Amino acid sequence: MHDGRTGAESAVVSAFGRKKKNRHMAAAAALAVFFCACGRPLPEPPDRIQAGVAYYNQSDTFLSELNDCLKEQLYKLENKHFEVTVTTKDAAGLQRTQDDQVKELIDAGCNVLCVNLADRSDPSEIIDLAREHQVPIIFFNREPVAEDLMQWEGLFYVGADAQQSGVMQGELAAKAIQADSQIDRNKDGKIQYVVLEGEPGHQDAIIRTESAVDTLKKNGIELEKLSCGIANWNRAQAQNRMMQIISEHQNRIELVLANNDDMALGAIDAYQKLNYTETALPVFFGIDGTDAGLEAVAESKLAATVYNDKEGQAAAMAKLAAALVLQKGLEETGLVDGKYIYLPYEKVTRDNVSSFTGA
Ligand code: GAL
Ligand code: CA
């Protein structure tokens, strides 16, 4: 770097190549509009949106697809009045690493942060840093508990309602089971099932499982749980867990409920690896509608999935980021309780999958 920028700053690519200025003062000004109801004249809004985006783990399939949408939406905000820069960090699962990365982003002059917490129960250090420098935070996908979000006015959350996704998965599975008597392969009137779960402690893991199972029962499906494996959202881990589960239960498994598409695909991989024939396969259900998930639905490998609206989440985050930095339009962001934006899930089956893939 010849322009004397530090490492952290050099990662910031300005679309206009203009010099960064004002740093924390600009960020502080951005928040003043909400915090200062005291009638003093407000400082000018900054001429740039400098967003710092921190991921818990960028190799997570859903989040890497969300990241593409978010960058697109943030850069779309740019116009002749202000420039937009986006810097992305990956904590590789460690909250300590993410705390340091957030500090770097603030030091580099970011005036809004989007944080996908590594540990959703431990945001205190990040919140303290942000408050100290008056840089608002939009948490996303990994929801902090309400008490943490209440710690300061500059904290927001964009995501989706875990229970809704579980209920939809349960409804999709109930409908499939009612429509196809072959799913109950041993004809005992019950559905023998296995659950593949995301990370323990994640709002989308336990709640999705519970509400999917409850919904199946409410729809009159008799269930017998054979096993439950934790695979941390990950396709390879799900394949491993599923190989073990298959070795314990052989061809008794009739239904696999996975907390996300990657784990459903990992379960399918396990059966493929073991050369199971199609008639001995269970039915698989996922959540997310990732590219690979949608493809599997189109090919009828995955019975159905539930679309986790990454485009909607990214658009909501970009709109909120702009409103916070530019000090206008906050009323139009659809914030609930001044803090939350939840985007709805949607059911995806073979019948409507083309409207999600654009095919
Ligand atoms: C969930 C998503 C998973 C995983 C997880 C990471 O909402 O369904 O696939 O991305 O977030 O926090
Ligand atoms: Ca059965």
User: What is the whole-number distance in angstroms between the Cα of residue 262 and the centre of ligand 1?
Assistant: 10
List, for residues 308-318, the tens digit of each pLDDT value: 999 999 999 99
Closest residue by CA, ligand 1 atom 10: 62
The pLDDT of residue 32: 47
The pLDDT of residue 46: 82
Ramachandran class of 134: left when φ > 0, alpha when ψ lies in -120 to 50, beta otherwise: left
Q: Which residues line ligand 1 (CB under 6 A)?
A: 60, 62-63, 141-142, 202, 204, 233, 260, 287-288, 308
- Residue 169 tokens read as 């998965």
Least distant ligand from the CA of 223:
2
Angle at 205 between CA 51 and CA 147, to 5 degrees: 60
Residue 11, pLDDT > 60, answer no
Ligand 1 probe mutation, 233, 294, 308, most atoms within 8 A of CB: 233
Residue 14, pLDDT > 60, answer no
User: What is the whole-number distance in angstroms between the Cα of residue 65 and the centre of ligand 1?
Assistant: 11
Residue 26, pLDDT > 60, answer no
User: What is the whole-number distance in angstroms between the Cα of residue 58 and the centre of ligand 1?
Assistant: 11
What three-state secondary structure class fits 144?
coil
Q: pTM of the prediction?
A: 0.89
- Residue 200 tokens read as 């323990």
What three-state secondary structure class fits 283?
strand
Distance CA 257, CA 304 (A): 10
Residue 300 has φ and ψ, to the nearest 5°, of 60, 20
Which DSSP category does 229 fall into? E
Q: Which atom of ligand 1 is nearest to the CA of 262?
A: 9
User: What is the whole-number distance in angstroms between the Cα of residue 172 and the centre of ligand 2?
Assistant: 18
Q: Which atom of ligand 1 is nearest to the CA of 66?
A: 10
User: What is the whole-number distance in angstroms between the Cα of residue 208 and the centre of ligand 2?
Assistant: 23
Ligand 1 probe mutation, 56, 58, 59, 63, most atoms within 8 A of CB: 63
Least distant ligand from the CA of 208:
1
Q: Write the CB contacts of 39 (distance below 8 Å, at least 6 apart in sequence).
A: none
Q: Which atom of ligand 1 is nearest to the CA of 160?
A: 7
Least distant ligand from the CA of 307:
1
Closest residue by CA, ligand 1 atom 11: 141
Name the residue with higher pLDDT: 19 or 344: 344
Q: In this structure, which amino acid lies at residue 31?
A: L
The pLDDT of residue 359: 55
User: What is the whole-number distance in angstroms between the Cα of residue 259 and the centre of ligand 2?
Assistant: 22
User: What is the whole-number distance in angstroms between the Cα of residue 222 and the centre of ligand 1?
Assistant: 28
User: What is the whole-number distance in angstroms between the Cα of residue 179 and the centre of ligand 2?
Assistant: 15
How many C-beta atoms lie closer than 10 Å to residue 265's C-beta? Answer: 24
25-39: average pLDDT: 43
Least distant ligand from the CA of 193:
2
Closest residue by CA, ligand 1 atom 5: 233
55-71: average pLDDT: 98
Distance CA 216, CA 305 (A): 15
User: What is the whole-number distance in angstroms between the Cα of residue 140 and the centre of ligand 1?
Assistant: 11
Q: Give 185's pLDDT tier (boundaries 50, 70, 90).
A: very high
Distance CA 161, CA 136 (A): 23
Least distant ligand from the CA of 169:
1
Ligand 1 probe mutation, 60, 98, 143, 306, most atoms within 8 A of CB: 60
Q: Which residues pair with 79 in a beta bridge?
A: 82
Q: In this structure, which amino acid lies at residue 80?
A: K
- Residue 287 in contact with residue 312, Cβ under 8 Å? no
List, for residues 231-290, the tens digit of each pLDDT value: 999 999 999 999 999 999 999 999 999 999 999 999 999 999 999 998 999 999 999 999
What three-state secondary structure class fits 336?
strand
Residue 31, pLDDT > 60, answer no
List, for residues 205-233, the tens digit of each pLDDT value: 999 999 999 999 999 999 999 999 999 99
